[in-house]
Amino acid sequence: MSDDLRFPPGFLWGAATAAYQIEGAWDADGKGESIWDRFVRRPGVIAGGDTGDVACDHYHRYAEDVGHMAAMGLGAYRFSIAWPRIFPSGGGRPNQAGLDFYRRLIAALRDHGITPMATIHHWDLPQALEDRGGWVNRDTALRFAEYASFLFQALGAEVPMWATHNEPFVQAFYGYGTGENAPGRRNPWAILPVGHHLLLSHGLAVDAFRAAHLPSAQIGIVLMIWPHHPASPRPADVRAAWRIDGGMNRLFLEPLFRGRYPEDMLRHFGRRLMRPPVRPDDMEIISRKIDFLGVNSYTRLIHAADWRDLLTGARQVPPRGPTTAMGWEIYPDCIVEALAKAREYTDLPLYITESGAAFNDVVGPDGHIDDAARTDYLRMHIAAARRAITAGADLRGYFVWTLMDNFEWAQGCAKRFGLIHVDFTTQRRTWKGSARFFRDVIARNGL
């Protein structure tokens, strides 16, 4: 194998999931209600009327799932912990049965030599906290720090990699701005305070992590970094793409790594909108030193200037190439560009914490799923990750989104991203061609 297809020794190959998308068991063993448990019951908000009530039933089938991971040769598994399983109403007394589930999962991973990477919050806030204002309420950031601190005490010795949040932009924008995600609020003015409180809670959790003295563990955060391109070289389009880059990427990168919000964003949204939730010391807390940055990379977006959108002054234009079932352009250089963007802000070790694609898989008459499109997608994106390393990125790992087909939020269960096919009626797991491909990549440490 030529060197440019091989990855550095010790490179971490993994797969990623999130609690609400796979666990099911939505009210088992004392688990509290999350904002997703509440949201999916609103008529018409989820395609096909699907819910995560059962999803992949991973809560009961985790041992079988870890077996699949081991057979694939995964070096690491990124999962999230459901806050309401641990603290059913957000705080107070922990729910031992919920904690025990994660203990069992982590033990099974370690038995197979798979490194656990735990995301502390992947959008499933306890509904009880949402009832008190959710992420618009600064107090939620303090509750998050308590929850994180409890996890570090309880599980810190077994989990070497922690991520505070997954894609805070998505939680703020789609959860509180457009209402497409839980909790389904439609208030553009909430987006910035929510983003700020998520970032603040991240910094407070980092403090709790350092206080827990876990010398062999690391902490980071996972951001969605998508490149934003102008539809034309016209200055108005270039400015539009830069504004969207500001709202989706720089609004998170800059406070985390430079301890301030981007000047152009302050001007654009108006200082009044940005300022109210920001208290003295907040920016210092937000920019506490972390150990790694996780980057979720799927595609790029292209924008033209359009002031009919009063919030952004931009309009997304159609993709310029083939797309996945999500309508996302297949653009492998998204990985190279996302990592380059991250490197403008930090020289920390980087991980691609999500990369993958939904396609309309067909189960053949013999039960096989020949998902050649997903295999091609992965091959091209893994090659792009290798190019990014050649270009100087300190990339330490690549996690496929996702281990198995699951509940894709507002899109329901019909959008399948998995390496493993899940029959949601029988819960039967079947490897797709892409799972075998990824197993071979891992075995060769390269393409």
**What amino acid positions are annotated as catalytic residues?**
167, 354
Residue among 34 and 296 whose Cβ is closer to ligand IFM: 296
Q: Give min distance, CB of 319 to ligand IFM, in A.
A: 16
Joined together, the tokens standing for residue 215 give 């010398």
Q: Which residues make Cβ contacts (< 8 Å) with residue 243, sequence separation at least 6? A: 264, 268, 312, 313, 314
Residue among 21 and 95 whose Cβ is closer to ligand IFM: 21
Q: Give min distance, CB of 253 to ligand IFM, in A.
A: 17
Q: Give min distance, CB of 18 to ligand IFM, in A.
A: 5
Site for ligand IFM contains 167 (CB under 6 A): yes
Residue among 156 and 168 whose Cβ is closer to ligand IFM: 168
Site for ligand IFM contains 354 (CB under 6 A): yes
* Dist. CA 51–CA 44, nearest whole Å: 11
Q: Give min distance, CB of 415 to ligand IFM, in A.
A: 8
Residue among 353 and 375 whose Cβ is closer to ligand IFM: 353
Residue among 26 and 401 whose Cβ is closer to ligand IFM: 401
Nearest residue to 314 (alpha-carbon basis) of 383, 394, 246, 410: 246
Angle CA 27–33–37, to nearest 5:
85
Task: Annotate 334-368 with b (16+ C-beta within 10 A) or e (fewer).
Answer: bbbbbbbbbbebbebebbbbbbbbbbebeeeeeee
Q: Give min distance, CB of 401 to ligand IFM, in A.
A: 5
Site for ligand IFM in 21-50 (CB under 6 A): 21
Length of the chain: 447
Residue among 79 and 152 whose Cβ is closer to ligand IFM: 79
The residues that bridge with 13 in the sheet, in sequence order, are: 398
Site map 122..161 versus ligand IFM, x via CB under 6 A: ----------------------------------------
Joined together, the tokens standing for residue 218 give 């690391």
* Dist. CA 11–CA 236, nearest whole Å: 42
* Dist. CA 134–CA 437, nearest whole Å: 42
Q: Which residues make Cβ contacts (< 8 Å) with residue 447, sequence separation at least 6? A: 1, 5, 379, 382, 383, 386, 441
Token match 């309508």: residue?
327
Q: Give min distance, CB of 162 to ligand IFM, in A.
A: 17
Site map 319..338 versus ligand IFM, x via CB under 6 A: --------------------
Joined together, the tokens standing for residue 265 give 């964003």
Site for ligand IFM in 218-237 (CB under 6 A): none
Residue nearest to ligand IFM (CB): 18
Joined together, the tokens standing for residue 134 give 């959710």
Site for ligand IFM in 56-95 (CB under 6 A): none
Residue among 208 and 224 whose Cβ is closer to ligand IFM: 224
- With CB under 6 A as the contact rule, the residue among 15, 18, 192, 336 that binds ligand IFM is 18
Q: Which residues make Cβ contacts (< 8 Å) with residue 182, sequence separation at least 6? A: 34, 35, 36, 38, 39, 40, 123, 124, 125, 175
Residue among 214 and 378 whose Cβ is closer to ligand IFM: 378
Site map 180..219 versus ligand IFM, x via CB under 6 A: ----------------------------------------
Q: Which residues make Cβ contacts (< 8 Å) with residue 134, sequence separation at least 6? A: 35, 125, 140, 176, 183, 185, 194
Q: How many residues in the shown chain lie near ligand IFM by CB under 6 A?
A: 7
Q: Give min distance, CB of 375 to ligand IFM, in A.
A: 18
Q: Which residues make Cβ contacts (< 8 Å) with residue 89, sequence separation at least 6? A: 32, 126, 128, 129
Site for ligand IFM contains 371 (CB under 6 A): no
DSSP 34: B
- With CB under 6 A as the contact rule, the residue among 399, 401, 437, 438 that binds ligand IFM is 401
Site for ligand IFM in 271-310 (CB under 6 A): 296
Environment class of 247 (CB within 10 Å of its CB; exposed 0-12, middle 13-18, buried 19+) = buried
Q: Give min distance, CB of 149 to ligand IFM, in A.
A: 25
Return residues touching ligand IFM (CB under 6 A).
18, 21, 167, 296, 354, 401, 408
